[in-house]
Amino acid sequence: MASRGGGQHQRQQQQQQQQQQPGGYGRGGGRGRGRDGAPYSGGRGRGQDGSYPGGRGGGYGGGGGGQPYYGGGGGGGGGGGQGRGYYDDGGDGRGYQRGMEGGGGGGRGGYRGDGDGGYGRGGGGYQGDAPEPRLAAQYAREIDIAALRAQFKGLTTTTPGAASSQFPARPGFVAAGEECLVKANHFFVGLKNDNFHHYDVAIAPDPVLKGLFRTIISKLVTERRHTDFGGRLPAYDGRANLYTAGELPFRSRELEVELSGSRKFKVAIRHVAPVSLQDLWMVMAGCPAGIPSQALQLLDIVLRDMVLAERNDMGYVAFGRSYFSPGLGSRELDKGIFAWKGFYQSCRVTQQGLSLNIDMSSTAFIEPGRVLNFVEKAIGRRITNAITAGYFLNNYGNELMRTLKGVKVEVTHRGNLRKKYRIAGFTEQSADVQTFTSSDGIKTVKEYFNKKYNLKLAFGYLPCLQVGSKERPNYLPMELCNIVPGQRYKNRLSPTQVSNLMNITNDRPCDRESSIRQTVSSNQYNSTERADEFGIEVDSYPTTLKARVLKAPMFFRTSVLTFKVVNGATIKSWACVNLCDGLDNRVVEAFCLQLVRTSKITGLDFANVSLPILKADPHNVKTDLPMRYQEACSWSRDNKIDLLLVVMTDDKNNASLYGDVKRICETEIGVLSQCCRAKQVYKERNVQYCANVAIKINAKAGGRNSVFLNVEASLPVVSKSPTIIFGADVTHPGSFDESTPSIASVVASADWPEVTKYNSVVRMQASRKEIIQDLEGIVRELLNAFKRDSKMEPKQLIFYRDGVSEGQFQQVVESEIPEIEKAWKSLYAGKPRITFIVVQKRHHTRLFPNNYNDPRGMDGTGNVRPGTVVDRVICHPREFDFFLCSHAGIKGTSRPSHYHVLRDDNNFTADQLQSVTNNLCYIYTSCTRSVSIPPPVYYAHKLAFRARFYLTQVPVAGGDPGAAKFQWVLPEIKEEVKKSMFFC
């Protein structure tokens, strides 16, 4: 860390600020030459004095010394210029640069000051990258935030309806580990205006098409901006909300706009209220305040309009906060589904103030163009007259309609009038024979188009598309319809499509960062009209900040070289079932012999192969697998087996077969199972694969694969008193599935202090309900299991909760934590000591090495090193949260996990909680390296995914004739399986 330069940070008194007239921009310190420093260190430089043209003029910039591998401190920034200048001078710029050369440049001084300090260049250092003085600007922002904290000290939320945040305050910052510099895809946002107003918009008649809303308002603003709107350029959310920088000349007014085709609409605009930014300033100042949702919504809408209304040369299609265009990159995934590249943007409140989080994104779209072309790709064959309507519907109808239902098409037979419709289904008959009643009587579709449009259908033997409602259906021949461009594919992707999408999105860190920077440059936020209108300025550089790299814990564990487990389980009897049609049993037997040999070397007490390989029909697994199991038990000495090894095909689309195997073994038979891929079974002497299988079997059968060498050092706080650690997750059905239940899964540690074994509970609950139902009963069951297995009562509880968004934090605190307390109090006296942490993976923050030319700052894939933790600058201004990249990169850009503490009765320090979380990631039982989230969260996620295979529908007898005839059931897991870690 560079030493401080010569700037003195003297706060002006608030009364003096109010009385003083605004001055011009203060010119910062000039360019100063630093004397040569020692190797790897920056020299010291002193900038020239800045000029003082106005009341709050510029200061001067002092230089700063450096430490090894860092540049020297840059010259201090100029003083605050025009605006709210809380400080006389900018002080130390802290301008670290990338690499190991000399000092970086000075930063902006004061609050909203524009004077740049000079910089001192150190000599004798290693030649790194060109200077990039981002930390100098960051330091100036810290001054801004300090001023806000002074202004709002002691205040709480005053906005009606906004709850004051009761989440734990940050206990301090991480100090453990090695300091380093990283970059984050957060771009500082300056806000010069605070006079914003919210208006309600109502359009009549109601536009049927969603995109028409924006078209109407855009034309209205174009025509009326300099008359009715008084020169204002509003931002519009696409539905019912309009925002302006300053009031419009009216409180309420109805205006008319006419689109092409003489379509007239009336637009009623009514003032709702000014948009208060006080909650935003308070959160930035670190005061206990709720989420400033209104202010952030305003900023997101303005930034969205900057892209869609002013910088849409790429023809972006927006979904939520993401924007996609085939011009950024498009590639077919499979069967007419394409991936479009795009970017995500969202405004966030951080310790540096407002920041714009920008990340690259990709999603699936339906290929536009002729419907028949899409159908041919989807079914994998050319359409000829050999395909009858009946054959088409029986073989392809259901699968096609899962994709096409709700898709927008436009007709091609009416010239320039390209009327649009949404697909509701297929007709039961072909266009040649499908009839309907018209004003001229009953006609076939073929006859209608021939007579009215003089068209002879070439594919009259195919079914028609049915559009409109069931009561008033319209029939359109597929050959006369085109799929409208820009429609996202919302169904579940096939395994092949998922694999192809992953290959597209796995950009190297340097490439991803470059794409993000290019996106910011292309969008040109600061040159848009709305940037001037709303006083928004977006920094063009990503945030550079200090991080720490935590040390990996010392542990006894499975090694990829020695394959030795800590505690080996016993497998007395087992059998192997071959579900591959073309795989010879002799090949399977050879694999089983290799698995036994490797397992014994690994440390398992694994019985030799004593039963013949059993063959089963993969197309009739529901009947064959239980029969083969009974056959194996009849040959076993104890009339039971401990493990069923199942060899399966390598087909990417065999997920249903895998699910059937797991459901049958775990809910019907009651036996542990381990599936193996035929591709690996074919390989001779496949020792490493056999070792990976062996450690999974060992964990399932009750063994331990790894434990900490020094539990006290690896698990602070946890190792001091008996602690139970929970992990919880809720998975939901696909976006268009409104009936399938959600699955809640909770796991909890069964041993202490090792914390390596886990018990589990899984429940079905209402579709899309995120809050876990009956958490009291689940926690009570797992508390009893902990006492049964560890022979002790827990004294403290840590709960890692996955899958919760920021908007649900308060709901979780009010609903789930009280359930945990009830469960505890039903078993033990006293109040429980709970630490409740939300784990978030579905966010868009990415961390990048500061210098890709320095191998010491990254891992072998170009990602930040495992153990990199960030709790400054881009984190919450007050609350206890942090980003942790606990795993080494494998492919693409690593995603750090985000941890947010919602309750902490155990009073963890930042170092303690971050160390516990990081160290737990090294003892995930099925992996010989650290993983991205703590094992209990990982196990809960896997269990919830597994339980979705269990879901079945059973008929409902009697009841209301109009009610559903089936209901969902989640079968109970057999006790023989439930007491193990079968899900790992």
Q: Are 735 and 489 in contact (CB under 8 A)?
A: no
Residue 362 to residues 92, 143, 277: CA-CA distances in angstroms? 41, 38, 33
Q: Are 407 and 465 in contact (CB under 8 A)?
A: no
Three-class secondary structure of residue 683 per DSSP? coil
pLDDT for position 155: 56
Model pLDDT for residues 372-412, shown as the tens digit of each residue: 999 999 999 999 998 999 999 999 999 999 999 999 999 99
Q: Are 798 and 790 in contact (CB under 8 A)?
A: no
Return the closest-CA partner of residue 945 out of 708, 729, 775.
729
Peptide bond preceding 205: is omega within 30 degrees of 0, i.e. cis?
yes
Rounded Cα distance, 632 and 48, in Å: 88
Rounded Cα distance, 927 and 922, in Å: 8
Return the closest-CA partner of residue 25 out of 62, 56, 4.
56
Determine how β-strand 408-411 pairs with β-strand 435-438: unpaired
The 10 Å CB-count burial string (b at 16+, else e) for 162-190 is beebebbebeebbebbeebbbbbbbbbbb
pTM of the model: 0.84
The 10 Å CB-count burial string (b at 16+, else e) for 432-453 is eebbeeeeeeebbbbbbbeeee
Eight-class DSSP state of 395: I
Rounded Cα distance, 286 and 297, in Å: 20
pLDDT for position 558: 55
Return the closest-CA partner of residue 762 out of 630, 894, 944, 620.
944
* Amino acid identity for residue 845 in this structure: T
Peptide bond preceding 753: is omega within 30 degrees of 0, i.e. cis?
yes
Determine how β-strand 742-749 pairs with β-strand 337-350: unpaired
Which secondary-structure segment (H or E) carries 63?
none
pLDDT for position 274: 96
Three-class secondary structure of residue 723 per DSSP? strand
Rg (CA), the chain: 32
Rounded Cα distance, 491 and 858, in Å: 37
Task: Please state the length of the chain.
Answer: 984
Rounded Cα distance, 313 and 325, in Å: 10
Residue 352 to residues 40, 226, 420, 508: CA-CA distances in angstroms? 29, 37, 47, 27
Close Cβ partners of 549 (under 8 Å, ≥ 6 residues apart): 177, 178, 180, 865, 867, 868, 869
Rounded Cα distance, 367 and 380, in Å: 15
Determine how β-strand 574-578 pairs with β-strand 643-648: parallel
* Amino acid identity for residue 334 in this structure: D
pLDDT for position 414: 87
pLDDT for position 315: 86
Q: Are 217 and 242 in contact (CB under 8 A)?
A: yes
Q: Are 202 and 255 in contact (CB under 8 A)?
A: no
Rounded Cα distance, 603 and 563, in Å: 8
* Amino acid identity for residue 211 in this structure: G
Residue 550 to residues 235, 246, 868, 884, 915: CA-CA distances in angstroms? 45, 49, 6, 10, 7
* Amino acid identity for residue 596 in this structure: V
Model pLDDT for residues 570-620, shown as the tens digit of each residue: 999 999 999 998 899 999 999 999 999 999 999 999 998 778 899 999 999
pLDDT for position 490: 86
Low-confidence ranges of the chain (pLDDT < 50): 1-133, 157-164
